[in-house]
Structure 1
Amino acid sequence: MAATESGALVTLLDLQQSSIFFKEGASLRVIGKLQDYSVETAIAVIADQGVTLKIDTQHLTELGFRIGSIFQFIGELLIQPNNEAVLQARTGRNIDGIDLDLY
């Protein structure tokens, strides 16, 4: 059985193409405000500091998505052919109320 790597805590600003974290299969932990969610595609879009990231949430069945809430996701980064990053989330949680400055 293969071990699952812990997700490296990164900001969305850290996910530029030149970043060491911007690689296929990188195990990451990200936080952002939910901007959009599509039930049909299970794709969420989070934002932080003017940067957005798509999150594939197909494996998260019990998570209630509310636009404007703060979410944390842990998963693996997938790089699309157009160099767009999508996080394949294996876990996620609503963290409304957390002091992000202290976090």
Structure 2
Amino acid sequence: MTVSDEAYAAILGATAQIEWSVLEPHFARGDLLAVAAQLDLVAVAAAMMEDNSELIKGWMEAGQLQVASDAQAADWAERQPDTLWAVVIRPWVLVQERAA
């Protein structure tokens, strides 16, 4: 993937730590995508911005990028982790739980 340094920096600047309560409405609308911890959240966002369907399809097939599940939402609602990071790539909100 070839994303410019400026695009990467812009996405990185739009990425923030976030509370589950802020993400919950996005989950309810079905526009919350969960990104596996082993992926670079910014790189995934960049691939989505560039419409890199090959990369995105590979991550989805590997279960590394998926619509947030009911089980994930219930877990986040119960635990209220402080390790959630998110970035908006319209119409999606990408969320990643990072190791503490």
* TM-score in terms of structure 2 length: 0.31
Q: Which has the higher contact order (CA 8 A, sep 6+)?
A: 2
Indicate the structure with greater strand content.
Answer: 1
* TM-score in terms of structure 1 length: 0.30
Indicate the structure with greater helix content.
Answer: 2
